[in-house]
Structure 1
């Protein structure tokens, strides 16, 4: 039986446009309000305290890489560039190196070189001359899609029989099957979908490889890919995994692995310094210590920020997005578990007005929260005015207001024990998941040349924001629905589909996973559309897809943000805390 999917266009037809907001950015002192938090008997979700205390974070000894190692990395980088320059002589070898460079987390060092090499291949060599095998087909398709080049799935037609199915002999080609499977995650909605049609066959072949338990050097990669394709994984976390995996077979005598290890530790030391900076900010504003009902998840919020903007040159963006994510988490808890309906309406109104007149009417715990929000967003907006002459505050304030209104809708549903239709739920939930707030801030934090066209697209909830947020929402629901159902919440996509269709929970999970696959295809299409690339610029395009990736990773095995488990802890350890051993250190 084929899976029938609900149309994934459940968005408000009304286009959002910001109202006039004050351009002044006064900063108020938090200390006058901290003593006013009243002790009211209220429900508590009993969230676990953070294991990453401020003292622990500040005790980290930043793993600075000395000048000699940095010079060594630069010399190895020149060797990589030398090989890439030979793309017209050895095109296939260069394409394989590009893939290796990217998987090892080195793409940020060679962005221009990679793009130039791929352009030279496109304009100088017929692709069908180097894609004879399934592995080559899959890799070429993946690389060119990743970098926005136009490439059709028709390139796979020579691997098909007269019935439109892959020829049987390829199932004995593990590397080829794996390559085609990875390529299938980059397909678009509406194109000739050879790979999507063949995906069940590719998955079956990969599972058979694992079940056979034969000596296969690719077994770990096959298992890793079946859990989550490379295209859906956050780049820096994937780099750590791949470096350690390659060491098992190559040891320490591979110069690319040496360079990747050096680079990983350099970026990690930068991450440690940034985390210490935001931890000082978090302690200073005192929200987690004063509002004892909220989740203290600063380090997890930093992981989000590093997932969205992993490139080392985007330090300012990671610091800003960590603050944004921490505030989103606090406000989400106010709406989900603590605020009364009247209080939530008051708070929503104050955020919509974005001024200080209504603060006096808020309960004390909301005052400190709103002022933290107000000061933080205005400070970020001030930086944009100072550096680029663009007032971002009206757009940012409107995004926060829209998210709070969506929070209020969900709180009302839960308060009244209402389960909406799946369509009504998704119309609201892609906004409430906060992706648009995160990405709107990200645009101003990563973009050097802000354009009016991009500002209009942000205000009108461009599809790039919508599909990235939809992936965020569906992953969130798949990871948190069990706990939400146990708490008695009435609105998430799993429950809405169960009530609407009469299906069991597992069937509804499968249905939502089908919607998630469709959302990825729509996001893939949007990030590759030339008008989006020219409108937003590459850094923001990457932030949009990286938000989807960190969402997929965080909720893959449960609620990795709200209820961190061992996998969440290991993400923090591998990305921020534990460096990779350099050659000669083991």
Structure 2
């Protein structure tokens, strides 16, 4: 047992404590997963022969990509490789191919064909090339609008639509491309039968969420079925994608099976008041860091996320203000002395947090030879204390406080006292609300842990950088917060929870709910523009590719979880289907 791990006896105490204290309840539904089933997942494709078969097919696809002389065909093959979830296996080959394509950027065919131009724009921007929005000027009329005749080019419309989501701040032409393609694709979607069923599926899928906003594991499973209908489909590539998907799924099954055992042994799933979402938390982790070699990261990240949700629910639902002040003191001191002062259920919750955080720090010490526990502890405390508690400072002061992570400990008492504002019905402005609420999602903490768990060589300089919440972490967390608010606000307002961003905007501006929702959606679009740029400028240390990818993926996962409601708090059919697809059901292979 790692140093600092205390024994937890998870006695059921809810009934007694409920009699003594009138506690709130969020009425969270129990887990939809039978943990005995999760523990029994068999990992059928874990055998080495499947890995060897994938490697043989990779060599064949690699030769095809290298030999392809038609630049459009090369672009389309790269796009298919990526959408099928195989980019991590072809990173070097894709980079080499894109350099060739970039060197032919002045070829006339790029300027004359909308699909070719848009696909090239999207793929090059995705990989960090500086491609001007001016490449689309040739498709504009004399009035500065996209030519009406382009509405008849469905393939070109789809490509331009997907390209528009790689825009940057201030790019009006890209904004115009998004508006133009959304309008005409929606018209085609309404017409339905006029276009082929395959095209209709593509349009419906794109309008639901663009490729750039989708987690790649989910996109890969959907795209396999669509790609199979493509007359230009590469059979070897498709079969490789299916088998590789199953090989990865077997890795995930082994990991989540072990986590189910840990979760049941920990016993906090029996406490009742908190969201029991182990499998959903693991899905977050594997969608954020899907590559096979990062299993240690996925497991540790899932454990931390489970603890954040548990303590989040203690603060949100279970604890009284007096109990939360006492709990805050224990977390601030990070000490179990006099732990008996806490009510039993909150004591169990704190010990679970204490033990798990120390365990993760101990495992990082073994893996990296670097004691990261104090950094994790600081971030855990910070994430918990500022959640749903509005700072007495201005938003500018608060951001400075956020950046100066070492200063927050002295202020946590002020934060917990600010909770009293809610009992007085205080509704902050959106500007006041966002800085604290971004951190309270737990997203920055997840990204911080990923940085610790995937960086090849940790240094004090690197840890100082990430512990000060660099802009890319804040931007990723902001997209998570805004999506969370869109998905959870209706249910949380019905049960009388704290106001979300939608309510803050409505209260501040006297706006309708519809107008507030539109404002939040526009904020998401603008924040993604900042993300597109930040992903390629915020790299002060080598080896940050996995961390940067996780920042992008956290934002993407939030879209999939909150698109149709609270897919985390109330795991809906979409969330369950995603788990079945990624973790449970293998793809049929020949």
TM over 0.5: yes
Residue 39, structure 1, aligned to residue 19, structure 2? no
| Alpha-carbon displacement from aligned partner over 1:516-571 (angstroms, at most 9, x marks no partner) | 11111111111021x42645610100011100000111000000000011111111
The aligned counterpart of 2:484 is: 476
Distance 2:541 2:132 in 1: 21
Distance 1:558 1:240 in 2: 22
> Is this contact kept in 2: 1:65–1:266, CA < 8 A?
yes
Alignment of 1:179-258 (within 5 A): 179-190=159-170, 192-213=171-192, 214-216=194-196, 217-249=198-230, 254-258=235-239
The aligned counterpart of 2:453 is: 445
The aligned counterpart of 1:4 is: none
> Is this contact kept in 2: 1:345–1:408, CA < 8 A?
no
Q: Could you tell me which of 427, 430, 438 is aligned with 2:438?
A: 430
> Is this contact kept in 1: 2:388–2:436, CA < 8 A?
no
The aligned counterpart of 2:312 is: 332
Q: Could you tell me which of 557, 561, 569 is aligned with 2:564?
A: 557
Secondary structure of 1:377's counterpart equals helix
Distance 2:586 2:36 in 1: 20
Offset of 1:267 from its aligned partner?
A: 0.8
Offset of 1:162 from its aligned partner?
A: 2.9
Distance 2:361 2:329 in 1: 21
Alignment of 1:93-112 (within 5 A): 93-112=73-92
Q: Could you tell me which of 238, 250, 272 is aligned with 1:292?
A: 272
Residue 28, structure 1, aligned to residue 28, structure 2? no
* TM-score (norm. length: structure 1): 0.90
Alignment of 1:479-498 (within 5 A): 479-498=487-506
Q: Could you tell me which of 143, 154, 157 is aligned with 1:174?
A: 154
Distance 1:465 1:374 in 2: 24
Residue 577, structure 1, aligned to residue 558, structure 2? no
Offset of 1:399 from its aligned partner?
A: 1.2
Secondary structure of 2:228's counterpart equals helix
Offset of 1:129 from its aligned partner?
A: 4.2
Count of aligned residue pairs for this structure pair:
554
Secondary structure of 1:218's counterpart equals helix
Distance 2:437 2:588 in 1: 43
Secondary structure of 2:246's counterpart equals helix
> Is this contact kept in 1: 2:430–2:504, CA < 8 A?
yes
Distance 1:252 1:566 in 2: 31
Distance 1:83 1:127 in 2: 24
The aligned counterpart of 2:134 is: 154
Bigger relative contact order, structure 1 or 2 (CA pairs below 8 A, ≥6 apart): 1
| Alpha-carbon displacement from aligned partner over 1:358-405 (angstroms, at most 9, x marks no partner) | 634322222221221122122221222233232222221111111111
Distance 2:528 2:328 in 1: 32
Offset of 1:481 from its aligned partner?
A: 0.4
After superposition, the CA RMSD in angstroms is 2.1
Residue 467, structure 1, aligned to residue 475, structure 2? yes
> Is this contact kept in 2: 1:30–1:371, CA < 8 A?
yes
The aligned counterpart of 2:406 is: none
| Alpha-carbon displacement from aligned partner over 1:336-371 (angstroms, at most 9, x marks no partner) | 111101111222222222233363432222222122
The aligned counterpart of 2:72 is: 92
Query: Which consecutive unaligned segments of at least 5 residues does structure 2 have?
Result: 391-418
Distance 2:546 2:96 in 1: 18
Offset of 1:121 from its aligned partner?
A: 3.0
Distance 2:49 2:451 in 1: 36
> Is this contact kept in 1: 2:308–2:384, CA < 8 A?
no
Distance 1:76 1:246 in 2: 17
Q: Could you tell me which of 110, 115, 127 is aligned with 1:131?
A: 110
> Is this contact kept in 2: 1:236–1:310, CA < 8 A?
yes
Distance 1:232 1:107 in 2: 16
With 540-549 and 420-429 compared, the bigger mean Cα shift is at: 420-429
Distance 2:294 2:106 in 1: 35
* TM-score (norm. length: structure 2): 0.90
CA change 1:413–1:494 in 2 (3 A) is: farther
| Alpha-carbon displacement from aligned partner over 1:104-142 (angstroms, at most 9, x marks no partner) | 1111111121122222333x4335445231111111111
Secondary structure of 2:259's counterpart equals helix
Alignment of 1:350-429 (within 5 A): 350-357=330-337, 359-407=339-387, 409=389, 411-429=419-437
CA change 1:413–1:545 in 2 (3 A) is: farther
| Alpha-carbon displacement from aligned partner over 1:147-175 (angstroms, at most 9, x marks no partner) | 12222212222222233221222111111
